[in-house]
A and B are shown apart, each in its own frame.
Chain A
């Protein structure tokens, strides 16, 4: 039997974001033949978390899947492909996911902020992978496509800081007078 890789767009079998207890925050699996039900998915996640939460080794093979992963504080990001998939493609998807999330959360890559911005993170995940096909791998493009709220609202963080800054300046001057 030939071991050549299938020429297909469907290279991603799953993407998951888990918290530091191994609970699912967000997960998507694209191939029902890999995990037929949610029960198997969650069992796999528990197992995956057990094997990966201590060693930060970036790649592991588990249940006939190649999983690349990355973690920060209390969040674990995973991208899964078939066991013989080109790992470097998976890693490029993983870095896109991580960098996009990091940009959306303004570098506060933690569970709390992630949950506060869950709607945007969901949209980002949807922009990165569509039904198993990597849709976009450039984190900047992904953030552009989803971070709509910032442009919309007149008071984004930047301006709030600026307002405070100027208020402080004014106060300082008034005290000096």
Chain B
């Protein structure tokens, strides 16, 4: 007796007093047999069903058979009229309907409950029913749904509306037919019903801008009662203002401003947030919103303070002056018990405060940095980065702070953020370089993240040789060879070679170190050491330059394909690397989005990469003989947005041909297009082939192609083409997409011109050491010219334009102009079609427009000429 009591006691303690603890799926499913008893054993059944729901909620998964069995057993419980049990059954249906089969079986029971008299059943029955019903079944219950939407009981109406919204995800068209009922529900007295009705109505109208505008005009003047609905309306209004290009409708803006005086805090905040987020808001528009947020800063409710300071910190990123008024309140929040609020307050102050307050703020940061989550630490680091760029004189203090943070605890993203901030400072300010490199050297001595260590070692290889004492970095790099894992060792070996290649005085020592690395246990490290040692030992500058400082950068998949091809054919001749497209240098790496920024909206269509295009085109027999794809342009829109037909053009450049790919979309749901082609005409260009798209149904993407041989004369390889979309229309039924007639009629549609520019013949290429590459190419094919770019007003603008125009890649970070400079030199590198290396040096000076001295070097005189003439 006593021992069994102890046993129970012990069980209880283990489960933390949780009677559901240590249940197992099989036995609970066994217990579900109780559902089959007649009459229903309400108490036991309720208990067992709760257990099943608990297990599912804990993440237990049921196999299809188990779920189906449980589901069918559960349907027996419809015989009981116990309210709780019945509603648990609804829950069970919702949980199991995604796994179990033949769930349609409960439709009639649920329909009965939904139309019955018991209000307690009706609302949840609707919600359960809509979960198991698909679009075709919807017709059957359509009448009931319409009634339910306008039901007197708010619960029923809400349930129907929310279910509508869920259904719209899969079949939007059904719900569109209930628009008048939804509209009626919008005028309901109930707070939630109004909110749900507005949500559904907006979803129905969303794609029709005029209808949304009309709806908004009506609602903003009539006044909604529900604060939730108003919040939703504010978001819709803000969207409208943002999308309206002509200039904000002042009435809409007035509505937002009037909502700042609403009595619900929820609405006030929503309106303030919308106003400060709108890009069109002027400083004057911001003022009332900011002062409302300022009031919130001293609220006793933490959430309100949090919301306010978070929004203000967002404003401070773009318009720090607007927030200066709140500085005093923000200072008070540094001591806030909620560390999130304190962090946001500090980072905001870092943006709005003056240079003098930096030291003080820095002290308070270090005091609480250990209490906050990594996400917030990253926010702090971002703020420090901005601060360092703003006040170069404070960089010493900031660098010290960052180095401290680098040594403290933290995950990879946090450490990466710090390292990249230090790197930014180094790049921005040459004086801070050595100090920053020292901090980073110290950090890699004890860095657990391989990727980060590799990145820093490569940075040392890039910056180290150009410092006053390159020798001091060798020790740090070589230490890595002794102590680290294979990936880091390999990187360290490459970097040692870079030092050897650039610093004559160190070459002897480097060769000794590389020799030692040849004993490494890892293949890759040994191979690299042997390779670099062999190249360096020749002491031949041209060779070193070509194979260490600026190694060839082929697109690896293309190289692989070309090699396979080569092995299949006659291998007596040498392999020609010129036809291999070079890999475009990686785009500026995207900054890890920090939590303060809204999640980016999903991109409509993922743009295929070079490889994908190459595969797609290779699959078309007409293009099989063209050889490897050299370059594909970014998609170019040939139509305005929201027209009947949308066409975008992608230009694919091959060795001797250009393929124009036209991606067409038909936006008319009552038309089926057939034999769709784009007719292009241009001076001096022939058209070798044109592949039409056989059929283009509504809203589907179809592609047609035009193949153009590139003219022999290299100076005639650019041109403008007029383009017309030609097709055959067959009218069809919008609902089904089936054509009404057998006969169609011809029609055409004028598109914007397609232009083939110099940039289409040039692939971007990276040079890690521009000067070495420049000298190596020599002045043989050099061309020089001076241009006056009178339309440009800043150096940055000129640099972006030139880079885009030539389609080349800026090297040595020469695309960044130090602030306040009026002269700058831009270095560009690229590969011309056919594998010709091209380098461009553009000396820019600012004086009434921009004057540019352009020097082009390449390994082919004609290529130099084409590039030089491109700018003129």
Contact = CB atoms under 8 A, between A and B. Distances in A.
A92 B88 contact: no
B192 A3 contact: no
B772 to A, nearest CB: 39
Given A55-B339, A118-B20, A7 B235 contact: yes
Interface in A31-55: 38-39, 41-42, 51, 55
Contact of B91 (A63, A84, A123, A134): A123
Nearest to B237: A7
Contact of B231 (A57, A58, A89, A152): A89
A47 to B, nearest CB: 9
A39 B159 CA distance: 31
Interface in A129-177: 130-131, 133-138, 141, 145-146, 148-149, 152
B314 interface: yes
A145 B376 CA distance: 41
B339 A118 contact: no
Nearest to A65: B595
B199 interface: yes
A108 interface: no
Given A88-B303, A120-B84, A145-B155, A58 B338 contact: yes
A74 B440 CA distance: 46
Contact of A88 (B235, B236, B269): B269
B269 A59 contact: no
Nearest to A123: B87
A149 B232 contact: no
Contact of A89 (B127, B228, B338): B228
Interface residue SS majority, chain A: mixed
Contact of B127 (A3, A42, A122, A130): A130
B303 A86 contact: no
A72 interface: no
A23 B20 CA distance: 12
Contacts of A57: 302, 337-341
Contacts of B54: 118
A120 B124 CA distance: 14
A152 B91 CA distance: 21
Nearest to A64: B595
Contacts of B843: none
Contacts of B165: 9, 133
Contacts of A83: 595-596, 598-599
A64 B232 contact: no
B598 A118 contact: no
Contact of B601 (A1, A89, A92, A133): A1
B59 A122 contact: no
A103 interface: no
Nearest to A119: B50
Interface string B586-623: 00000000011111110000000000000000000000
B695 interface: no
Interface in B229-243: 231-232, 235-236, 238-239, 242
B277 A3 contact: yes
A141 B46 CA distance: 23
A23 B46 contact: no
A99 interface: no
Nearest to A88: B266
A157 B521 CA distance: 77
A4 B278 contact: yes
A38 B58 CA distance: 8
Contact of A134 (B18, B127, B228): B228
Nearest to A92: B266
Contact of B166 (A1, A60, A90, A131): A131
Contacts, number: 190
Contacts of A137: 191-192, 228
Nearest to A68: B303
B665 interface: no
Interface string B50-66: 10011001110000000
Counting chain A CB atoms within 10 Å of each CB, which of B59, B274, B598 scores highest? Answer: B598
A84 B598 contact: yes
B591 to A, nearest CB: 13
Interface string B186-230: 000001100110011010000000000000000000000000100
Contacts of A39: 59
Counting chain B CB atoms within 10 Å of each CB, which of A21, A25, A92, A133 scores highest? Answer: A133
Interface string B256-289: 0000000001100110011001110000000000
A115 B18 contact: yes
A131 B130 CA distance: 12
Interface residues of B, number: 75
Contact of B235 (A6, A62, A87): A6
B332 interface: no
Contacts of B124: 126
A76 B494 CA distance: 53
B684 interface: no
B114 interface: no
A130 B191 CA distance: 16
A24 B60 CA distance: 13
A4 B314 CA distance: 12
Contacts of B596: 83
Contact of A9 (B120, B162, B277, B600): B162
Given A59-B338, A118-B50, A148-B84, A111 B17 contact: yes
Counting chain A CB atoms within 10 Å of each CB, which of B83, B236, B302, B303 scores highest? Answer: B303
Given A119-B50, A120-B84, A4 B239 contact: yes
Nearest to A91: B303
B340 A60 contact: yes
A2 B159 contact: no
A9 B279 contact: no
Counting chain B CB atoms within 10 Å of each CB, which of A24, A28, A58, A62 scores highest? Answer: A58
A129 to B, nearest CB: 10
Given A62-B373, A86-B231, A152 B162 contact: no
Nearest to B274: A4
A152 B87 CA distance: 15
A28 B59 CA distance: 10
Contact of B192 (A38, A68, A136): A136
Contacts of B361: none
A7 B232 contact: yes
A105 interface: no
Contacts of A2: 242, 277, 279
Contacts of A19: 16, 18
B506 interface: no
Nearest to B600: A1
A145 B303 contact: no
A123 B84 contact: yes
Contacts of A24: 57-58
Interface string B833-858: 00000000000000000000000000
Nearest to B241: A4
A59 B20 contact: no
Nearest to A117: B50
Contacts of A89: 228, 231, 266
* Interchain residue pairs A-B with the least CB separation, the first 10: A38-B59, A9-B199, A57-B338, A7-B235, A88-B266, A148-B83, A58-B302, A119-B50, A84-B598, A87-B307
14 contacts: A1-B601, A8-B199, A19-B18, A28-B57, A55-B339, A63-B375, A64-B599, A68-B303, A86-B231, A86-B273, A130-B127, A130-B159, A134-B195, A138-B191
Interface of B: 16-20, 46, 49-50, 53-54, 57-59, 83-84, 87-88, 91, 120, 123-124, 127, 155, 158-159, 162-163, 165-166, 191-192, 195-196, 199-200, 202, 228, 231-232, 235-236, 238-239, 242, 265-266, 269-270, 273-274, 277-279, 301-304, 306-307, 314, 337-341, 373, 375-376, 595-601
Given A61-B376, A111-B17, A134-B195, 18 more contacts: A2-B242, A3-B598, A6-B601, A8-B232, A57-B302, A59-B340, A82-B598, A82-B599, A83-B599, A84-B598, A84-B599, A87-B307, A115-B19, A122-B91, A136-B158, A136-B192, A145-B123, A148-B84
